[in-house]
A and B are shown apart, each in its own frame.
Chain A
Amino acid sequence: MADLLKVSSNPHVRSKVTTESIMFLVIIALLPACGFGIYNFGIRALFVVLVTVVSAVFTEFLFGLYKRKQTIGDLSAIVTGLLLAMNLPVSIPYWAAAMGSVFAILVVKCLFGGLGQNFMNPALGGRCFLLISFPALMTNFVTDAYTGATPLAALKAGEEVNLLDMVIGRTAGTIGETSTVAILIGACILLLFGIIDLKIPGTYLVTFVLFVGIFGGHGFDLPYLTAQLCGGGLMLGAFFMATDYVTRPITVGGQYLFGAFLGIMTGIFRVFGAGAEGVSYAIILGNLLVPLMEKVTIPKAFGRGGKSHAK
């Protein structure tokens, strides 16, 4: 009887895509923006990245010891650490950066049941925790390289901004958010490998442009809108954080709704608010509404009156 064959329910083949392979691609896609941040802000940026990544992985490792189930192999803690670092100013003290990581992994993710169970994006949770706890540290964008305000702050004050610098990323800001080009290179990697699609980022950006165009007070002025799009954490948020699988709706309708909601909220925070964290708060608020958005957008099953056109 030793030669029995293996049996299982159908199907008997599986695709090669795994959670690790997805996370690995996300890490690769984050590298251009991360690399540009290090080039732009100097070697300290690299140390901030290392601190957040190492403390994120270490937190997950310790929690794994406690739960007697190790999950660092899925690489998601690295993604969280990277994303958090990219959302921090380069001047952040290392201890604060580490604290953000611990909060993101332990409180936002592990305590709610680990990967897949967190109700908000861990990296953004960590960022907002730091923003509320240490607002001064988190908004200190003065560095050796840049003494001025961030482009968005300048824009709000009515000053001229250099659009080319903004697109390339030669501006003040958090480590990973400044370079639109680098972020878009990463986004293209994710799109090409089918990790994300344009439903959420597309709706997000379009809604945002419409909102700012109507309520921003500058009309549909191209340089102004471009500056708004490339400024702050919008690009990073739209392509890397709003698309986080766990904290976005799974239904197609829900994804459009989610994108539109983020666009409007970001617009409100940017136009009427004073803070520098419109995108983060918009996405976190959106995360909290995901169950509701899914509930109202359950798709119609095939043959139950739903439209499904042949391609």
Chain B
Amino acid sequence: MASLTFKGGIHPYDGKDLSKDKPIREVLPKGDLVYPVSQHIGAPATPIVKKGDHVLCGQKIAEASGFVSSPVYATVSGFVKAVEPRRVVTGDSVMSIVIENDDKYEEVEYPPAIDINKASREEIIERIKEAGIVGMGGAGFPTFIKLSPKEPDKIDYVIVNCAECEPYLTSDYRRMLEEPEKLINGLKVSLRLFPKAQGILAVEDNKKDCVDILKKLTKDETRISVKTLKTKYPQGAERQLVFATTGRQINCSMLPADVGCVVNNVDTVVAIYHAIFEGKPLMERIVTVTGDAIKNPCNFKVRIGTNYHELIEEAGGFRVKPEKIVSGGPMMGFGIFDLDVPTTKTASALLALSKDDVSAAQETACIKCGRCSEVCPGRVLPNKLMMAAIHDDEETFLKLNGMECCECGCCSFVCPAKKPLTQTIKSMRKMQLAKKKK
């Protein structure tokens, strides 16, 4: 069967060879751990510890405040050193809880495993909510909300996003290779919540070994199938993934649930597994530390809150002086100006590049070559949207479906004139969204 895909997209240098054969290695934090209260979309969590408190590994330190919110847990034992604003990857200062690690890793007593065949729907969702699980692919949308749509019976597909289309990232790949059972059992939890749904593990065809393993493990599962996707960026973008696997289309005003789909990322599904079967809240994630400026690119199992400096050190430090460091992948990650920030729930990679393409690029005039619209998965005309945004022409921007941009970055990547298309359109979208809220 031919690999599934969508129209548009790009094939950037993928750099996955740097780290794909490095088994996941656990990194224990050495210095202080920092837990921003806002690692998700929605209201920031409220700290429930204060300076001087002693906390245990797995103890809740900040509580969800509001419906769209998510709690935060300590990932080491030690004393709370401060509750103060700290800088995060986006460059903002966010209220954070700082914990001094006592290196003892004393744990709280975790709640017992849930038997998903006996437990009620509400019980399962409550556990996932309490575990502080959010979309770990980057967006950070609280997972329990995704899992509780108005009409659970109308969900036809539960899709696990195993595409990992971002260049350089291998964290999901290693997870699938090393812990495929956790992934499959985590998916079974979601399938339990949606009795009529089929489970789909959607993997890009550059990860044949994962496809084989997952196929072998699911060959007796009637409700789970493995689908191969064409390797192309942004194959793992939610709308493109839903389209490739089911043929259903979503626009910017819709959620996957509107077309009967629920999409979760690999690490998120594994986090669900930990919460349900081991009683553990979300405390760790896999982070790929890679890039041509890193001495030994690696895949680490990292406790949330660990400082980025420590991850770079664990990877042997820098081979050459990096010009740019990105938290996340090169297409949608955040460029950071300083390494002194903590690992959060949504940080899938730390990428250090010896050369920065962006600052090296010379901007020239747009020659209307049309490459941007050719690659745009949202089927809009980025160059026209950029002009509208520059002229602050709201009407044209909206008429040309500017809000359908998913900020994937394909247009900026291909542009021969090196125009900051994504950035300009993104800013205009943010302004429009802010206006709507008012």
- Residues on A facing B (Cβ under 8 Å): 4-15, 17-19, 21-22, 71, 74, 76, 114-117, 245-246, 248, 250-251, 298-304, 306, 308-311
The answer on a CB contact under 8 Å between A7 and B336 is: yes
Cβ-neighbour of A10 out of B5, B322, B362, B407 (below 8 A)? B407
Best-surrounded residue of A12, A19, A300, A306 (most CB of chain B within 10 A): A12
In the complex, number of A-B residue pairs with CB atoms less than 8 Å apart: 179
* Measured CA separation A265–B341 after assembly (Å): 63
9 closest residue pairs by CB, A with B: A303-B251, A11-B409, A9-B423, A301-B401, A7-B335, A116-B365, A301-B404, A14-B357, A303-B249
The answer on a CB contact under 8 Å between B401 and A308 is: no
* CB-defined contacts of B167 to chain A, threshold 8 Å: 13
The answer on a CB contact under 8 Å between B6 and A308 is: yes
The answer on a CB contact under 8 Å between B377 and A74 is: no
Best-surrounded residue of B243, B325, B331, B335 (most CB of chain A within 10 A): B335
The answer on a CB contact under 8 Å between A5 and B330 is: no
Cβ-neighbour of B413 out of A9, A13, A116, A248 (below 8 A)? A13
* CB-defined contacts of B239 to chain A, threshold 8 Å: 302-303
Cβ-neighbour of A6 out of B4, B254, B335 (below 8 A)? B335
* CB-defined contacts of A6 to chain B, threshold 8 Å: 323-324, 335, 337, 356, 358-359
In the complex, 11 of the A-B residue pairs with CB atoms within 8 angstroms, ordered by the A residue number, are: A7-B91, A9-B335, A10-B332, A11-B330, A13-B413, A14-B357, A115-B365, A250-B384, A299-B373, A302-B404, A311-B5
The answer on a CB contact under 8 Å between A250 and B247 is: no
Cβ-neighbour of B379 out of A9, A74, A250, A299 (below 8 A)? A299
Cβ-neighbour of A15 out of B91, B338, B414 (below 8 A)? B414
The answer on a CB contact under 8 Å between B400 and A250 is: no
* Measured CA separation A12–B13 after assembly (Å): 12
User: At the interface, is chain B mostly helix, strand, loop or mixed?
Assistant: loop
Indicate the size class of the contact surface on chain B.
Answer: 35 or more
Contact A310:B426 (CB < 8 A) given known A6-B324, A115-B367, A303-B239? no
Question: Which residues in chain B, 357-385, are within 8 Å of chain A measured between CB atoms?
Answer: 357-359, 361-362, 364-371, 373, 377-381, 383-384
Q: How far is the CB of B295 from chain A (nearest CB, A)?
A: 17
* CB-defined contacts of B412 to chain A, threshold 8 Å: 10-11, 14
The answer on a CB contact under 8 Å between A311 and B373 is: no
Q: How far is the CB of B293 from chain A (nearest CB, A)?
A: 11
The answer on a CB contact under 8 Å between A13 and B12 is: yes
The answer on a CB contact under 8 Å between B331 and A11 is: yes
Q: How far is the CB of A56 from chain B (nearest CB, A)?
A: 17
* Measured CA separation A306–B6 after assembly (Å): 13
The answer on a CB contact under 8 Å between B381 and A114 is: no
Q: Is B244 on the interface with A (CB-CB < 8 A)?
A: yes
Cβ-neighbour of B249 out of A19, A71, A76, A302 (below 8 A)? A302
The answer on a CB contact under 8 Å between B243 and A310 is: yes
The answer on a CB contact under 8 Å between A4 and B338 is: yes
* Measured CA separation A57–B161 after assembly (Å): 52
* Measured CA separation A76–B332 after assembly (Å): 33
Q: How far is the CB of B8 from chain A (nearest CB, A)?
A: 8
Contact A309:B353 (CB < 8 A) given known A245-B368, A303-B404? no
Q: Is B420 on the interface with A (CB-CB < 8 A)?
A: yes
User: At the interface, is chain A mostly helix, strand, loop or mixed?
Assistant: loop
The answer on a CB contact under 8 Å between B426 and A19 is: no
The answer on a CB contact under 8 Å between A308 and B7 is: yes
Contact A303:B250 (CB < 8 A) given known A11-B422, A310-B7? yes
* CB-defined contacts of B230 to chain A, threshold 8 Å: 311
Q: How far is the CB of B349 from chain A (nearest CB, A)?
A: 12
The answer on a CB contact under 8 Å between A311 and B7 is: yes
* Measured CA separation A304–B70 after assembly (Å): 32
Which chain A residue has the least Cβ–Cβ distance from B418? A14
Q: Is B277 on the interface with A (CB-CB < 8 A)?
A: no
The answer on a CB contact under 8 Å between B330 and A310 is: no
* Measured CA separation A11–B356 after assembly (Å): 11
The answer on a CB contact under 8 Å between A300 and B379 is: yes
* CB-defined contacts of A311 to chain B, threshold 8 Å: 5, 7, 230
The answer on a CB contact under 8 Å between B357 and A13 is: yes
The answer on a CB contact under 8 Å between B370 and A5 is: no
The answer on a CB contact under 8 Å between B426 and A13 is: no
* CB-defined contacts of B4 to chain A, threshold 8 Å: 310
Contact A116:B322 (CB < 8 A) given known A9-B420, A251-B381? no
* Measured CA separation A309–B338 after assembly (Å): 44
Cβ-neighbour of B369 out of A9, A11, A22, A299 (below 8 A)? A22
Contact A5:B364 (CB < 8 A) given known A13-B357, A19-B416, A22-B416? no
The answer on a CB contact under 8 Å between B416 and A17 is: yes
* Measured CA separation A299–B367 after assembly (Å): 20
Best-surrounded residue of B5, B13, B249 (most CB of chain A within 10 A): B249
* Measured CA separation A116–B324 after assembly (Å): 32
The answer on a CB contact under 8 Å between A13 and B404 is: no
* Measured CA separation A245–B326 after assembly (Å): 34
* CB-defined contacts of A9 to chain B, threshold 8 Å: 335, 420, 422-423, 426
The answer on a CB contact under 8 Å between B413 and A245 is: no
Contact A309:B423 (CB < 8 A) given known A7-B336, A301-B401, A302-B251? no
Which chain B residue has the least Cβ–Cβ distance from A22? B416
Q: How far is the CB of A78 from chain B (nearest CB, A)?
A: 14
Q: How far is the CB of B24 from chain A (nearest CB, A)?
A: 25
* CB-defined contacts of B252 to chain A, threshold 8 Å: 303
Q: Is B333 on the interface with A (CB-CB < 8 A)?
A: yes
Question: Which residues in chain B, 261-317, are within 8 Å of chain A measured between CB atoms?
Answer: none
Q: How far is the CB of B44 from chain A (nearest CB, A)?
A: 23
Question: Which residues in chain B, 84-132, are within 8 Å of chain A measured between CB atoms?
Answer: 91
